[in-house]
Structure 1
Amino acid sequence: MANIQLFKSLKRRLLPVADTMNYCGASAYALSKEHRLAQYAATGCLNHTFYASAQAQLATVLELSQEIAPRFIAQTALYARRRSYMKDMPALLLAVLAARGAEELVPAFEGTVDNGKMLRNFVQILRSGVTGRKSLGSRPKKLVQAWLNQATEEQLLHACVGQSPSLADVVKMVHPKPAEPWRAAFFAWLIGRPYDHAALPPLTRALCAYQRDRAQPIPQVPFQLLTAMQPSTEEWTQMARDGGWHMVRMNLNSFARHGVFEVPGMTELIAARLCDASAIAKARVFPYQLMAAWKACDETVPVAVREALQKAMEIALANVPTLEGTVVICPDVSGSMSNPISGVRAGVSSAVRCIDVAALLAAAILRKNGQSRVLPFDHRMVSCPLDPSDTVMVNAARLARIGGGGTDCSAPLRWLNEHGQRADLVILVSDNESWLRNHTSGATETLRQWQQFKQRNRKARLVCVDLAPHASSQAPESDDILNIGGFSDDVFRLLASFAAGQMQPQHWVDEIASMPL
């Protein structure tokens, strides 16, 4: 007789067998091609991550793009730019569409290239040859020309900030034919050709006047066009008054260094600007940008300004949903989460790490859902008491101070099972590279623990938020499991929709496929 223990009848539903391995060589579930592309687009910055190099990310995206319909590639580019606020990946996907000669390039370009930085990214990537061509080609060239001929003077001046290529390089490449005299004069001024000074638009004319005579009023142009002239305290103060919301956020230490906060009333003015709700909404503030500014502030920045950043965070996260039922948030605090959220690149790596973003998401949900429970984990459960009445920034900082250990995504589920806990929604926030308690066959340990949890909580749902560009998951998509990638505030909207039962299988891919072209 066969071994009864080995072949006994299963009392629970069959679990899907893990069908791939993750970067650590542990069992995992392969995401669909479309899901993989979306994951890379929403989290990949084409920089070195803890587990994958920039070259490997690029190769993966290019390989996937050859197997996926142009329409979905275009929709992914739109999603990555509009919902995830990414820059490099949407431009790369546009370049892929251009290389394939896809008609979807036109609506995708028009919906994705919303500023000069995106325009220059697109041109840079396409001209690099990585997508299979080095020339712009007629259709991309016409799209770039149209952008240059439709942009406002303010947009063009902002596009002047940056090199490789510069806006002047782009103009020389595509030779736009301007219909307005002011635009013709601007392009000639930009590329160093003779121009009619009287025909220049007002801001550019004011910039030229200021460059000739510093006694002239400071023009309200991007501050990067002025800092090379070594502005005085008075000039820095005027730039702080006139600067946009993001300009102020990014230059707090510079303001302190140049004496701006010593000018009467400037501390109060800047603090009020930073926590102005309408300005925050208009600036499309990325929550982790506020965390980056708060972390970067040195002691010379007044306390009132640093507190304003905390208030701004509360305002920026006002759309965090109130989730029905009992919610458990499980931020991964393992060693790999110490990697910068946008990857490593010499000189430009973000000070914000994956663990900071995981902590931010957990603290934000706790703040809006006071009865929630936060269970940090690495290879085991980690104790970190939090107070829902504290600010998001304070609680996030407490969580982010943990760090270390291996990764076991099943750890919080196992703890819930061992303690007989109940919950309606469990949220794992991780880089998803679980490698401990690995099984050589069958389902992953995460899925096994989730099935056990479901025996007590039949209506419960699991959301796995992946913060890094990966191709696999520890729990495959199903009616009660959602895998999403990204670290923008759109994650909160998706959480609410899924928790309310408003998303179907292949939830996230369907969300992207619904983007109108």
Structure 2
Amino acid sequence: MLNYGKLFSLRRNPQSEPIPRTVPNSAGGHAFAISDWARLDRFLVLGSEGGSYYAGERTLTRENAAAVMRCIAQDGARAVATIVAVSEAGRAPKQDPAIFALALAASADSEATRRLALAALPRICRTGTHLFQFADAVEAMRGWGRGLRRAVGDWYRARPVEALAYQAVKYRQRGGWSHRDLLRLAHPETDEPARKALFDWICRGTLSEEAPALVHAFAAVQSEGVDGAFAAAQVRSHGLPWEALPTGLLTSRAVNEALIERMPVGALVRQLGRLTAAGVLAPFTAGTEHVVSVLADRERLLKARLHPMALLIALKTYASGHGQRGRLSWEPVGAIVEALNAAFYTAFAAVEPTGQRLVLALDVSSSMGMGSVAGSALTPREAAAAMALVTAATEERWQVVGFTGARDRNRNEGLTPLPIGPSMRLDQAVAATADLPFGSTDCSLPMRWALERGVKADAFVIYTDSETWAGPVHPVEALRQYRERTGIAAKLVVVGLVSNGFSIADPEDAGMLDVVGFDTAAPALIADFLRGG
């Protein structure tokens, strides 16, 4: 007799074959397609820079752009509101995806949507660099019509003159664009003497007495023969940023000590290596005490919108003692390393523990070791370890495991309990994932492992790119089997670490949730879901 049940099942199917409502993923397996709105969220947080193991940067960008445009066409107001919300809340590591998405909205067929997008320009493009990026992106989509010129002109008219002068000396040009280019395109008019003088200096190089004091200070430090003491005085008196100083002055200890006093948090974190190499940051110095104090100030970190990924990258780089590019090297200061480690957790929204039993499962397959997260130096595998530690630092009952289709050193099929947790320094825990056996992707393994070993879990939190294909059953089938055999209504949270269109979470199962990795709101969303909120 032919056993039809072995040929077709609604309960147990290999991941290489579809089950109802799944679509082919990029790895040859099958997963659930996320909605365009979910993909918009993923793109705004993760972007597509660097691509992924299965999709190149160009392909992933084009796929995401198509999804963003469908959202804009469906509901332009909602799309613009989403872009603004993600940007203003500091949920994303980089502004680049939000700026690109805003440029798409500013080029929409709907006039109402274009107006909303251009009205949101100052909320998204908060610095000169952001404005240059927007100009570059929007020019690839549309011409410079009256509405676009007016919006850019308003960006220059609305800012206080001193704040605009700061933008002019700090972000002079980026990506082939300058403030002079944009002012000549927008032609903003003003009756304010100081603003008019600032525009004249930007466009023509004419420096009059009416120009803001910051511009005069900038011009003064550009002169030949200026020493460190004079430059340091200008920094303290006028708040000159480090980008406004000639390269030769950045080796001056006096200048660097003055810069540290007023340097914005983001710039300070990015400059830690250089400042240490210059001798300003050393054990027990005033500069080190200042840095440690800044990194411990939760309110200041959140106000600066300093994303946790920026802190993780700074920790990884600073602790290594050398930059990713160039020859700069330094001897890390222990107090700063520990302060960066603590600040990473601080930068996420405060989360109350759920008290539940959690299996935190890291996809450490080959595909997670390629590409980058949000254009950073972090692979999805490293980002998964960091995100898992955020939850582990909050919760009391958890087990971290790593899974792949390969067998580990003890011949266990594809899953290894990981000896990492918040007691281990973050950069060390991230590095520990590099020593695991890599292979094919099987996202059903965490549930199968727990069932085989009698592990009683209230929820499985899986950090993955959802490019699963190697398992004998689909992840949702493995979870269903776990629920039936244990009697535990276990939940599944999928933390997506690549901005593709797939998830292993079934959108029609109320016990499953898909969230975006490295979204600062993700830990709180996960906790609320696990509590049943």
TM-score (norm 1): 0.85
How many correspondences in the alignment? 485
The answer to whether residue 366 in structure 2 is matched with residue 366 in structure 1 is: no
Letter in 1 for 2:350: N
The separation in 1 between residues aligned to 2:451 and 2:31, in whole angstroms, is: 21
Letter in 1 for 2:331: T
Q: Secondary structure at the match of 2:513?
A: strand
Q: Secondary structure at the match of 1:67?
A: helix
Confirm or deny: 8 A CA contact 1:432 1:474 kept in the other structure. Answer: yes
The separation in 2 between residues aligned to 1:427 and 1:79, in whole angstroms, is: 26
Deviates more, 1:255-264 or 1:426-435: 255-264
1:68-147 superposed matches below 5 A: 68=71, 69=74, 70-83=76-89, 84-85=91-92, 86-100=94-108, 101=111, 102=113, 103-127=115-139, 129=140, 131=141, 133=142, 135-147=143-155
**1:260 counterpart (280, 284, 308):** 280
The answer to whether residue 173 in structure 2 is matched with residue 167 in structure 1 is: no
Q: Secondary structure at the match of 1:330?
A: strand
The separation in 2 between residues aligned to 1:483 and 1:290, in whole angstroms, is: 25
> What's the CA shift for 1:318?
6.3
Aligned to 2:490: 460
**1:202 counterpart (202, 207, 213):** 213
Confirm or deny: 8 A CA contact 1:249 1:293 kept in the other structure. Answer: yes
**1:428 counterpart (455, 462, 484):** 462
After superposition, give the CA deviation of every residue in 1:426-474 in whole Å (9 maximum; x if it has no partner): 1111122112126xxxxx6111101112223553221101011111222
Deviates more, 1:59-68 or 1:428-437: 59-68
Sort the Cα spacing of 1:243 and 1:24 in 2 relative to 1 into closer, same or farther, 3 A: same
> What's the CA shift for 1:5?
4.6
1:10-21 superposed matches below 5 A: 17-21=20-24
**1:154 counterpart (153, 163, 173):** 163
> What's the CA shift for 1:392?
4.5
The answer to whether residue 298 in structure 2 is matched with residue 277 in structure 1 is: yes
The separation in 1 between residues aligned to 2:307 and 2:367, in whole angstroms, is: 23
The separation in 1 between residues aligned to 2:123 and 2:286, in whole angstroms, is: 41
The separation in 2 between residues aligned to 1:427 and 1:107, in whole angstroms, is: 39
Confirm or deny: 8 A CA contact 1:330 1:375 kept in the other structure. Answer: yes
Unaligned runs of 5+ in 2: 13-17, 322-329, 406-413
The separation in 2 between residues aligned to 1:313 and 1:95, in whole angstroms, is: 31
> What's the CA shift for 1:182?
1.4
Confirm or deny: 8 A CA contact 1:49 1:340 kept in the other structure. Answer: yes
The separation in 1 between residues aligned to 2:518 and 2:269, in whole angstroms, is: 19
The answer to whether residue 308 in structure 2 is matched with residue 287 in structure 1 is: yes
Q: Secondary structure at the match of 1:93?
A: helix
Aligned to 1:37: 40
Q: Secondary structure at the match of 1:376?
A: strand
> What's the CA shift for 1:485?
2.0
Sort the Cα spacing of 1:474 and 1:8 in 2 relative to 1 into closer, same or farther, 3 A: closer
The answer to whether residue 271 in structure 2 is matched with residue 245 in structure 1 is: no
> What's the CA shift for 1:384?
1.8
Sort the Cα spacing of 1:366 and 1:236 in 2 relative to 1 into closer, same or farther, 3 A: same
Aligned to 1:451: 480
> What's the CA shift for 1:495?
0.9
Letter in 1 for 2:462: L
State percent identity of aligned pairs.
24
> What's the CA shift for 1:11?
8.9
Letter in 2 for 1:223: W
Letter in 1 for 2:478: Q
Confirm or deny: 8 A CA contact 1:77 1:89 kept in the other structure. Answer: no
Confirm or deny: 8 A CA contact 1:341 1:467 kept in the other structure. Answer: no
Sort the Cα spacing of 1:28 and 1:241 in 2 relative to 1 into closer, same or farther, 3 A: same
Aligned to 2:408: none
Aligned to 2:199: 187
After superposition, give the CA deviation of every residue in 1:229-252 in whole Å (9 maximum; x if it has no partner): 443222122222321112121112
Deviates more, 1:266-275 or 1:238-247: 266-275
**2:380 counterpart (331, 338, 354):** 354
The answer to whether residue 190 in structure 2 is matched with residue 178 in structure 1 is: yes
> What's the CA shift for 1:178?
2.7
Letter in 1 for 2:453: H
Confirm or deny: 8 A CA contact 2:355 2:397 kept in the other structure. Answer: no
The separation in 1 between residues aligned to 2:10 and 2:369, in whole angstroms, is: 41
The answer to whether residue 84 in structure 2 is matched with residue 58 in structure 1 is: no
> What's the CA shift for 1:9?
10
Letter in 1 for 2:354: L
Confirm or deny: 8 A CA contact 2:46 2:497 kept in the other structure. Answer: yes
Sort the Cα spacing of 1:378 and 1:107 in 2 relative to 1 into closer, same or farther, 3 A: farther
Letter in 2 for 1:149: R
The answer to whether residue 525 in structure 2 is matched with residue 491 in structure 1 is: no
Confirm or deny: 8 A CA contact 1:287 1:313 kept in the other structure. Answer: yes
TM-score (norm 2): 0.83
After superposition, give the CA deviation of every residue in 1:112-143 in whole Å (9 maximum; x if it has no partner): 2333232221111011x2x3x2x232222222
Sort the Cα spacing of 1:333 and 1:407 in 2 relative to 1 into closer, same or farther, 3 A: same
**2:346 counterpart (305, 308, 315):** 315
Q: Secondary structure at the match of 1:482?
A: strand
Letter in 1 for 2:194: W
**1:218 counterpart (231, 234, 259):** 234
Sort the Cα spacing of 1:90 and 1:332 in 2 relative to 1 into closer, same or farther, 3 A: same
> What's the CA shift for 1:289?
1.4
After superposition, give the CA deviation of every residue in 1:57-113 in whole Å (9 maximum; x if it has no partner): 232233234433223321332244234323222112211122124243245435423
Confirm or deny: 8 A CA contact 1:287 1:488 kept in the other structure. Answer: no
Q: Secondary structure at the match of 1:89?
A: helix
The answer to whether residue 501 in structure 2 is matched with residue 471 in structure 1 is: yes
Confirm or deny: 8 A CA contact 1:334 1:404 kept in the other structure. Answer: yes
The separation in 2 between residues aligned to 1:126 and 1:21, in whole angstroms, is: 33
Confirm or deny: 8 A CA contact 1:330 1:428 kept in the other structure. Answer: yes
Letter in 2 for 1:322: P
**1:235 counterpart (255, 267, 289):** 255
**2:372 counterpart (341, 352, 365):** 341
> What's the CA shift for 1:177?
1.5
Confirm or deny: 8 A CA contact 1:370 1:388 kept in the other structure. Answer: no
Q: Secondary structure at the match of 2:416?
A: coil
The separation in 2 between residues aligned to 1:6 and 1:398, in whole angstroms, is: 41
After superposition, give the CA deviation of every residue in 1:181-233 in whole Å (9 maximum; x if it has no partner): 2111112212234342x211222222222223443523322211214344322
The separation in 1 between residues aligned to 2:203 and 2:248, in whole angstroms, is: 20
The separation in 2 between residues aligned to 1:314 and 1:10, in whole angstroms, is: 42
Sort the Cα spacing of 1:159 and 1:371 in 2 relative to 1 into closer, same or farther, 3 A: same
> What's the CA shift for 1:292?
0.8
Sort the Cα spacing of 1:22 and 1:283 in 2 relative to 1 into closer, same or farther, 3 A: same
Sort the Cα spacing of 1:281 and 1:6 in 2 relative to 1 into closer, same or farther, 3 A: closer
**1:402 counterpart (436, 440, 446):** 436
Deviates more, 1:112-121 or 1:467-476: 112-121
